[in-house]
Structure 1
Amino acid sequence: MEIIARLAREGRADVPVYAIGADRRVATRSFDVAGSPLFVAEGIFAAEIVEECRRRGLLAGAYALRRPRGATFLRRLARDLSEQRKAPRVLIRRGVALLRAEPAVLRRQMGLGAEAARAREVLRRVAGLLAGHPHG
């Protein structure tokens, strides 16, 4: 949470670098929002910080993507296979489990304060937020 707050306040922070195959953080790197008035924090655990970001006045919007589950499964599998993250059998088994769990994940994210929306709607809203901020 402190990294998000630092990015919002200062426009730069050291962020963690994760190795998916190793299931852990392996390094940090400097990240700069390059003067943008907004940045997007995304990922399966992003909804975990929605309430705290809202409390601190850092939140412009919180969205949980609503996507066709089959398409998500195929994109995830193609990515993981191309990156050789784990053995193909493990990736398929994991992908099917995530496919089945996806409705519950979406409900949980909504319970944590994210709004379910399709990608185009999220992009439209972010564009609207950017239009309302002067670029420096």
Structure 2
Amino acid sequence: MIVLAGPSGSGKSRLAERLGRSRGWPTLRLDDFYRDGDEPDLPRIADGANAGLVDWDHPGSWHCDDAVAAIRALCEQGRTEVPEYSIAQSRRTGTQSLDLGGARVFCAEGIFADEVVERCRAEGLLEAAYCITQHPLVTFVRRLTRDLRERRKPPLVLVRRGWALLRAQRRVVRRAVQVGCRVATGDRAHAELTGRAGGGSSHVLAG
């Protein structure tokens, strides 16, 4: 498994799609393991303009154990059932089968992807882990544009959340580095993973 962690809007999904086209690597969307919004013990934002709302950027809003179980099944069996999640509705809407189709490598991407790194490394499931990042203002604009287009939440909530995430981006990157993620732009990570970076890379994999 290749982990693609990093701030929301940094380009993780875009990179996973590029690797799917160029290398044939399937993608496990870790954001589909969010908890339903009506669960009573979800973490809440404590202060600021969004105080009282569910804190969807807190790892407690996410099913880490379920995500690791899906990763383990993909590595051992090549297929698994994964949830379908609607961010706009804040709930699971169904399930779908993810089959690697014989691929030796797959990507796992999401804002909580760094949460699985240490566990998967200990189980021998991890090939490489990246924290995808770019300038915070670029991330802010791309994230807000995406979230408004997909109507993920009310516009005012998205703007306020986006501003809070911009200020928290360094902390998110620092956390990913602490568990062993390599910091890179999407272009740099793609070059390394496909063997196009100058001098080669220890993470270059066979097709």
TM > 0.5: yes
- Partner amino acid, structure 1, of 2:119: E
Deviates more, 1:56-65 or 1:22-31: 22-31
| 2:31 match | none
Structure 1 residue aligned with 2:141: 74
Identity across the alignment (%):
44
Aligned residues: 134
Aligned to 2:111: 44
Does 1:24 find its partner at 2:91? yes
Q: Secondary structure at the match of 2:108?
A: coil
In the alignment, the residues of structure 1 paired with residue 98 and residue 73 of structure 2 have an alpha-carbon distance, to the nearest angstrom, of 11
Shift of 1:130: 8.8
Give the drift of 1:25. 2.8
Q: Deviations over 1:15-74 (max 9, x none)?
A: 122211233333221011222111000111111010111111111100111211111111
Partner residue, 1:35: 102
Structure 2 segments unaligned to the other structure (5+ residues): 1-67, 196-201
TM-score with structure 2 setting the length: 0.60
Q: CA RMSD in A?
A: 1.8
1:38/1:130 contact within 8 Å kept? no
Task: Tell me the equivalent position of 1:14.
Answer: 81
Richer in helix (by share): 1
Gaps of 5+ in 1: none
**1:119 alignment counterpart:** 186
Counterparts of 2:92 and 2:143, CA distance in 1: 20
Q: Contact 2:128–2:203 (CA<8 Å) still a contact in 1? A: no
Distance, in Å, in 2 between the alignment partners of 1:131 and 1:46 is 20
Q: Distance in 2 between matches of 1:131 and 1:111?
A: 22
Verify the 8 A CA contact 2:140 2:166 in the aligned structure 1. Answer: yes
Q: Describe the shift of the 1:130–1:100 C-alpha distance in structure 2 as closer, same or farther (beyond 3 A).
A: closer
